[in-house]
């Protein structure tokens, strides 16, 4: 009988240790199933799919949590997007991530997709990747024999290629609670109303001092390079500037154009994406500043999504 899917074995471990043992045994020939919103698309390509086993981790409730521990927030990799969107912990500590959830697909997708799966998919316009760069987040990755932590910035290697080695599993996302005086914002440009897949997205975290000067800025854009990118050189140049001095700030933001190298697609040309990377970064900074107490939401343009 013909099948729409390639042949593979299926296993559903009941503990993290069991899952890591299986991944270790198959040494790169296993595929992890979490929400499945990306994996099911891959499985339909019988000509290129070459994995021997699908490891369904949905029983691993030890990876499904959002909690604050001291000045850190910890998020399990199996936490659903809808859970993130409704999390009181995130609303109180990092509403930037609830904002991402609000913009993330349909309710069916939000109830299925996980933060770990979304990151591991490693799209160059990865919504959570961009937002987590602004939060300076770390990722904890485990194998049966080892464990390592790396910044979300270093996790993305190329479009749809993440730094996950054979036998490894992304298990946790962590970040420090933003300091007092901080505001953050996430914006994205979509190709059409019925799709939440971004053409360009941006995130900014801005911390102001008592003089309304930029004490710290963290900036990221997606969809404009092979991976989401953190704009550290621009961040450095913004420090110490007052937010009423946009004649000075605006030329610095234009530098983003030299850091991006998008590809033309059916949705938008390369030239247009370069321009929108600048536009959406500027909007995100203004929105973040408004949430840090400087501008009004109306002036910041937080409602502008196109």
Q: What integer pLDDT is reported at residue 3 of this predicted model?
A: 57
Residue at 201 is within a domain: yes
CATH of the domain at 251: 3.30.390.50
Residue at 2 is within a domain: no
pLDDT digits (tens, 9 = 90+) for 162-189: 999 999 999 999 999 999 999 999 999 9
Q: Give me the number of domains the chain comprises.
A: 3
Q: Are residues 289 and 195 in the same domain?
A: yes
Q: Are residues 111 and 137 in the same domain?
A: yes
213 and 240 Cβ atoms separated by less than 8 Å: yes
Angle at 129 between CA 30 and CA 23, to 5 degrees: 15
Give the side-chain half-sphere CA count within 13 A for 175.
25
Q: What integer pLDDT is reported at residue 135 of this predicted model?
A: 98
Q: Are residues 149 and 195 in the same domain?
A: no
Q: What integer pLDDT is reported at residue 47 of this predicted model?
A: 53
Q: Are residues 35 and 122 in the same domain?
A: no
Q: What integer pLDDT is reported at residue 243 of this predicted model?
A: 83
pLDDT digits (tens, 9 = 90+) for 196-206: 678 999 999 99
Distance between CA atoms of residues 262 and 280, nearest Å: 15
pTM of the predicted model, to two decimals? 0.90
- Domain span at residue 51 reads 9-56
Last residue of a domain, one of 176, 209, 229: 176
- Which tokens go with 305? 């999504």
Residue at 4 is within a domain: no
Q: Are residues 201 and 102 in the same domain?
A: no
Q: What integer pLDDT is reported at residue 158 of this predicted model?
A: 96
Predicted confidence (pLDDT) at residue 46 exceeds the cutoff of 90? no
Q: Are residues 266 and 193 in the same domain?
A: yes
CATH of the domain at 75: 3.30.465.10
N- to C-terminal Cα distance for the chain? 48
- Which tokens go with 276? 């929108």
CATH of the domain at 13: 3.30.43.10
Q: What integer pLDDT is reported at residue 1 of this predicted model?
A: 40
Q: What is the mean pLDDT of residues 10-19?
A: 97
Q: What integer pLDDT is reported at residue 127 of this predicted model?
A: 95
Last residue of a domain, one of 176, 205, 230: 176
Q: Are residues 72 and 129 in the same domain?
A: yes
Q: Are residues 71 and 115 in the same domain?
A: yes
Q: Are residues 131 and 37 in the same domain?
A: no
Q: Are residues 191 and 92 in the same domain?
A: no
Q: Are residues 81 and 137 in the same domain?
A: yes
Task: Kindly report the average pLDDT of the chain as a whole number.
Answer: 89
Q: Are residues 122 and 196 in the same domain?
A: no
pLDDT interval class at 35 (50, 70, 90): confident
């Amino acid at each position: 009988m013909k099948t729409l899917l390639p042949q593979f074995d299926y296993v559903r471990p009941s503990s993290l240790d069991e899952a890591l043992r299986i991944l270790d045994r198959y040494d790169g020939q296993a595929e992890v199933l979490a929400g499945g919103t990306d994996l099911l698309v891959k499985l339909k390509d019988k000509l290129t799919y070459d994995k021997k086993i699908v490891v369904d981790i949905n029983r691993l409730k030890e990876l499904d949590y959002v909690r604050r521990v001291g000045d850190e927030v910890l998020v399990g990799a199996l936490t659903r997007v809808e859970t993130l969107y409704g999390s009181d912990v995130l609303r109180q500590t990092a509403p930037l991530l609830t904002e991402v959830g609000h913009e993330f697909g349909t309710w069916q997708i939000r109830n299925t997709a996980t933060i770990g799966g979304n990151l591991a998919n490693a799209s160059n316009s990865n919504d959570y990747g961009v937002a987590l760069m602004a939060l300076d987040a770390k990722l904890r990755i485990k194998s049966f024999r080892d464990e390592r932590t790396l910044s979300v910035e270093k996790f993305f290697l190329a479009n749809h290629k993440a730094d996950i080695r054979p036998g490894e599993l992304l298990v946790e996302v962590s970040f420090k609670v933003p300091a007092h005086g901080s505001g953050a914002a996430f914006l994205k440009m979509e190709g059409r109303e019925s799709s939440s897949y971004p053409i360009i997205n941006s995130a900014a975290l801005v911390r102001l001092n008592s003089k309304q000067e930029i004490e710290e800025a963290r900036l990221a854009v997606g969809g404009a390079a092979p991976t989401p990118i953190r704009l550290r050189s621009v961040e450095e140049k913004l420090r110490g500037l007052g937010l009423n001095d946009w004649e000075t700030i605006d030329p610095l933001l234009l530098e983003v154009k030299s850091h991006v190298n998008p590809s033309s697609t059916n949705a938008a040309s390369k030239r247009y994406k370069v321009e929108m990377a600048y536009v959406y970064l500027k909007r995100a900074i203004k929105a973040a500043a408004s949430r840090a107490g400087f501008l009004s939401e109306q002036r910041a343009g937080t409602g502008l999504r196109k």
